[in-house]
């Protein structure tokens, strides 16, 4: 098995697998919720027969289209259907909406923006749907920025719908920092995260369970979160470059990622990281640029662990 290169114009890797003729049914697909190999026979019927006169190609490589069907009554759009029952169209007809943008020239946050490809918070593929919305009309002030203006955060939630792994529809909450659009998963420990396996009425059940949880979250006190952020700002953990590097490397960050986290704090905060809060902002900033939401959430979870230490 080898990867000869990227298919022209697609951004996809071509995976070439060769198999000895004495093992016609030994091929496995390297994908499952546990990471184990899945026999090809579990998802297809394999047989030996005379080859076709013509073979479809993608670039210079033979190509065979593969598709799949969902279980009866199940749709990838269940997530958006369920969220619409809670948050409307996400443009402000309820308290939950697509985040606005910060005008860097004036420092003014504008909660009203047109939803475009650049501002949308709905991400979808052929097997997963992920979206997040915030309540940015009711900001929470947690300290001050370097220029003395308030450091604003918004309550928010993210929702996922997956056809792989556990195949669930779920929701969880976070706080969004207005100045940089970094998501903080810390401070929402009391939020009950509804998770429902796919069924014909999953969207209705999900909306029924999620709506009360979001209402409680929206109306909850912000004091514990604000106090936690204050404690994280005051908790100094590194003062030299050596200490910064050591702090991150001990927590599982690679050499390149460590350098990126330190550099992005310097760029966005105007100084190198010293406190728990600084490192959290660096980690969530790096996470913000991840193209895949699961990778972003993994990094944000690491940042949450740091805030747990400071609280």
Report the pLDDT value the prediction gives residue 50, as an integer from 0 to 100. 65
Domain identity same for 46 and 92: no
Token reading at 123 = 């991400």
DSSP state of 52: P
CB atoms inside a 10 Å sphere around CB 297: 18
Q: Where are the alpha helices (DSSP H) in 88-126?
A: none
Please report the pLDDT score of residue 78 as a whole number.
58
Helices 241-249, 255-269: axis angle to 10 degrees equals 130
- Please report, to the nearest 10 degrees, the dihedral formed by the alpha carbons of residues 17, 21, 23, 28 taken in order: 20
Measured between alpha carbons, how far is 215 from 173 in angstroms, rounded to an integer? 12
Confidence (pLDDT) at 36: 60
Query: What is the pLDDT at residue 48?
Result: 64
Looking at residue 273, what is its pLDDT?
A: 96
Residue 138 sits in the same domain as residue 33: no
Look at residue 159 and tell me if it is in a domain: yes
**Is there a domain that residue 148 lies in?**
yes
Q: Name the domain count of the chain.
A: 3
pTM > 0.75: no
270/142 same-domain check: no
Closest CA to 98 of 140, 128, 136: 136
- Same-domain check for residues 194 and 243: no
Alpha carbon separation from 208 to 82, 122, 213 (Å, rounded): 9, 21, 9
Contacts of the segment 175-178: beta carbons below 8 A, 24+ positions apart? 175/140, 175/225, 176/99, 176/134, 176/136, 177/151, 177/152, 177/153, 177/281, 177/284, 178/102, 178/109, 178/136, 178/139, 178/151, 178/152, 178/153, 178/154
153 occurs within a structural domain: yes
Domain region containing 188:
78-220
- The position carrying tokens 């979870």 is 301
Tell whether 151 and 256 lie within a shared domain. Answer: no
Q: Do 86 and 200 belong together in one domain? A: yes
pLDDT averaged over 10-residue windows placed end to end, the chain, 311 residues:
46 53 51 56 64 55 48 54 68 82 73 75 66 88 87 86 60 85 70 57 68 83 90 94 96 94 92 94 91 82 85 65
Residues 243 and 124 in one domain: no
Q: In terms of domains, do 210 and 248 share one?
A: no
Residue 73 lies in a domain: no
């Amino acid at each position: 098995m080898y990867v000869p290169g990227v298919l022209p114009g697609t951004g996809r890797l071509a995976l070439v697998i060769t198999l000895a003729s004495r093992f016609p049914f030994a091929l496995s697909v390297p994908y499952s919720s546990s990471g184990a190999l899945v026999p090809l026979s579990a998802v297809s019927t394999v047989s030996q027969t005379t080859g076709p006169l013509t073979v479809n190609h993608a670039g210079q490589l033979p190509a065979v289209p593969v598709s799949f069907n969902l279980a009866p009554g199940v749709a990838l759009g269940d997530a958006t259907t369920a969220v619409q029952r809670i948050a409307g169209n996400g443009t402000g007809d309820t308290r939950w909406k697509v985040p606005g943008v910060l005008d860097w020239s004036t420092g003014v946050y504008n909660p009203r923006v047109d939803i475009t490809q650049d501002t949308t918070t709905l991400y979808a593929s052929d097997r997963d749907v992920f979206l997040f919305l915030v309540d940015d009309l009711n900001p929470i002030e947690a300290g001050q920025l370097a220029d003395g203006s308030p450091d604003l955060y918004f309550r928010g939630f993210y929702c996922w719908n997956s056809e792989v792994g556990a195949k669930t529809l779920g929701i969880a909450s976070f706080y969004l920092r207005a100045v940089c659009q970094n998501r903080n998963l810390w401070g929402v420990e009391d939020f009950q995260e509804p998770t429902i396996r796919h069924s014909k009425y999953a969207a209705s059940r999900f909306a029924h369970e999620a709506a009360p949880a979001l209402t409680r979250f929206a109306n909850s006190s912000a004091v514990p979160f604000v106090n936690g952020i204050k404690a994280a700002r005051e908790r100094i953990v590194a003062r030299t470059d050596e200490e910064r590097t050591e702090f991150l490397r001990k927590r599982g960050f690679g050499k390149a990622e460590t350098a990126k986290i330190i550099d992005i704090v310097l760029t966005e905060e105007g100084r190198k990281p010293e406190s728990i809060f600084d490192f959290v902002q660096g980690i969530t900033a790096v996470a913000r640029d991840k193209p895949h939401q699961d990778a972003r959430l993994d990094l944000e979870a690491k940042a949450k662990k740091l805030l747990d230490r400071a609280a």
